[in-house]
Chain A
Amino acid sequence: MTIETKIDVPVMADVTAKGEKPEYLYWVGCAGAFDDRYQKVARAFAKILNHLGVSYAVLGKEESCTGDAAKRAGNEMLFQMQAMQNIGVLNGYEVKKIICTCPHCYNTLKNEYSDLGGNYEVINYTVFLDEMIRAGKLKLENNPFKGESITYHDPCYLGRGNGIYDAPRNVVKAVFGEVKEMKRARSYGLCCGAGGAQMFKEAEKGNKEVNIERTEEIIERKVDKVASACPFCMTMLTDGIKLKNKEAELQNIDIAEIIEKALNL
Chain B
Amino acid sequence: MIKQILFIITLLITFGVFAYSVKRLWGFFKLTKPAYPIKNIGARISHTLNVAFGQTKIFRKPVIGLMHALVFWGFLVITLGSIEMVVDGVSGLDRAFAFTGWFYDVVIASGDVFALLILIFIKLFSIRRMFLKVKRFSGVEMTPKANWDAQLSLFFIGFLMVSLICFNMGYISSHPNAYEGVYPVSAALVNLFGWDFSWLQEPGWWVHLLLIFTFANYLPYSKHFHVFLSVPNVFLANLEPITKYPNLESITREVKLMLDPEAAYDENAEVARFGVKDIEDVSWKNYMDSLSCTQCGRCTDVCPANITGKLLSPRKIFVDLRKRMNEKGPLVIAGKEDNKSLLRDYISEEEIWACTTCNACAQECPIDISHPNLIMDMRRYLVMEESAAPTGLNVMFANIENNGAPWQFSPEDRMKWAE
Interface positions of A (Cβ within 8 A of B): 6-9, 11, 28, 30, 32-35, 39, 42-43, 46, 58, 60-61, 63-65, 67, 69-84, 107, 111-112, 115-116, 156-157, 160-163, 187-191, 193-210, 212-213
Contacts of B362 in A (CB 8 A): 160
CB of B240 within 8 Å of the partner chain: yes
Interface contact B417-A32, CB-CB below 8 Å: yes
CB of B262 within 8 Å of the partner chain: no
**A63-B404, A206-B308 known, 13 other contacts, Cβ within 8 Å:** A30-B404, A65-B404, A73-B396, A111-B244, A116-B252, A161-B241, A162-B241, A188-B360, A190-B302, A195-B358, A198-B356, A204-B311, A204-B353
Closest to B362 in A: A160
Contacts of A202 in B (CB 8 A): 390, 392
Interface contact B406-A84, CB-CB below 8 Å: no
Interface contact B308-A30, CB-CB below 8 Å: no
Interface contact B259-A76, CB-CB below 8 Å: no
* A205 and B310 in contact, given A65-B400, A78-B397, A200-B392 (Cβ under 8 angstroms): yes
CB of B4 within 8 Å of the partner chain: no
The dominant DSSP class at the B interface is helix
Please provide the chain B residues from 363 to 394 with a CB less than 8 Å away from any CB of chain A in the complex.
Answer: 363, 372, 376, 378-384, 389-393
Contacts of B414 in A (CB 8 A): 28, 33-34, 60-61, 63
Interface contact A77-B379, CB-CB below 8 Å: no
* A161 and B242 in contact, given A200-B406, A204-B305 (Cβ under 8 angstroms): yes
Can you identify 11 A-B contacts, CB atoms within 8 angstroms?
Answer: A7-B418, A43-B418, A71-B245, A73-B396, A75-B380, A78-B397, A161-B359, A190-B307, A204-B310, A210-B305, A210-B307
Mark interface residues in B221-249 (1 if CB within 8 Å of A CB, else 0): 00000000000000000001111111110
CB of B1 within 8 Å of the partner chain: no
Interface contact A75-B384, CB-CB below 8 Å: yes
Interface positions of B (Cβ within 8 A of A): 60, 240-248, 251-252, 254-256, 258-259, 274-275, 302, 304-305, 307-312, 350, 353-360, 362-363, 372, 376, 378-384, 389-393, 395-397, 400-401, 404-407, 409, 411-419
Interface contact A197-B396, CB-CB below 8 Å: yes
Interface contact A74-B415, CB-CB below 8 Å: no
Question: In whole angstroms, how far apart are the Cα atoms of A205 and B308 in the complex?
Answer: 9
Contacts of B380 in A (CB 8 A): 74-76
Interface contact A34-B309, CB-CB below 8 Å: no
